[in-house]
Amino acid sequence: MNDLSNSVVVILAAGKGTRMKSEKAKVLHQISHRPMIMYVVETAVQISGKNVVVVVGSQAKKVQGVVSQSADVIFAYQEEQKGTGHAVLTALPVLPDHCQNIVILSGDVPLIKAATIKQLIAIHVEQQNEITILGVKLNEPFGYGRIVINKSGEVEKIVEQTDASEAERDINIVNSGMYCVKKNFLKNSLIQITSNNVQNEIYLTDIVGIASLQNKKTGLMICHDQTEVMGVNTREDLQNIEALLMES
């Protein structure tokens, strides 16, 4: 079984997106007359065919309806939005048994390319990592989780902006929110995460710290095209991404 048929893509699409100032669930906002979520779903299908799980929450039935019109995917329901780690936990029961590597994408990062994620999976398998993070270098990293690398050049942890020290805020390698993780490690680490942080949420990023404590290998792939990892949080973000799409 090759690396791709051995992989499942989990798309996190449960958030309401309060900063959009709209009643519509964030992932249903349109870019070039198509719901944002569909760009990510199409990319996921190119990677792993029917092995795609979409985690829904806010306006779950509407999101399911839109996605189901165009793609044959599996849905998981996150009743309360308690963070990214909690969202992935809700997906675990529906993951296909044969899949060993879990790719995690965000439903609000529509420009990510299948080729980039395929490369992430290849690096993950080749290096025999427990986790492989897709990172990006930003001149202005404010607001993003920083990837902390130790003196040996290994990934030690990801620290969110709100929890970062002054020194950590100076780091310009940031987390895209996209990963490839071995299924068994993901299952074992998610149940160890607590919500002991400023947001009182279960951060998926905490699995990196768990891997470090257990001397498990975490890899890093730098995405050289910043536009691929641009997320949508506001209407202005939506317009910027639409403009990028029209240029391409």
Name residue 103's beta-bridge partners: 9, 180
Backbone dihedral angles phi then psi of residue 63, each to the nearest 5 degrees: -65, -45
Angle at 44 between CA 191 and CA 154, to 5 degrees: 50
20-75 pLDDT, tens per residue?
A: 888 899 999 999 999 999 999 999 999 999 999 999 999 999 999 999 999 999 99
pLDDT score recorded for residue 3: 78
Spatial neighbors of 224 by CB under 8 A, at least 6 apart, are none
Is-contact 27 96, C-beta < 8 A?
no
- How far apart are the C-alpha atoms of 80 and 102, rounded to whole Å? 22
Specify the amino acid at residue 43.
T
Is-contact 81 93, C-beta < 8 A?
no
- How far apart are the C-alpha atoms of 164 and 143, rounded to whole Å? 10
- How far apart are the C-alpha atoms of 212 and 186, rounded to whole Å? 14
pLDDT score recorded for residue 68: 97
- How far apart are the C-alpha atoms of 206 and 190, rounded to whole Å? 8
Question: Is CATH 3.40.50.150 correct for 7-247?
Answer: no
Is-contact 91 10, C-beta < 8 A?
yes
Spatial neighbors of 18 by CB under 8 A, at least 6 apart, are none
pLDDT score recorded for residue 154: 84
Domain ranges for the chain: 7-247
* Helices vs strands, H then E, count in the chain: 8, 11
Q: Which two tokens stand for residue 21?
A: 């100032």
Residues of the chain with pLDDT under 50: none
Q: Is 235 a catalytic residue?
A: no
pTM for the full predicted model: 0.95
pLDDT score recorded for residue 21: 82
- How far apart are the C-alpha atoms of 17 and 110, rounded to whole Å? 15
- How far apart are the C-alpha atoms of 65 and 62, rounded to whole Å? 5
- How far apart are the C-alpha atoms of 183 and 77, rounded to whole Å? 19
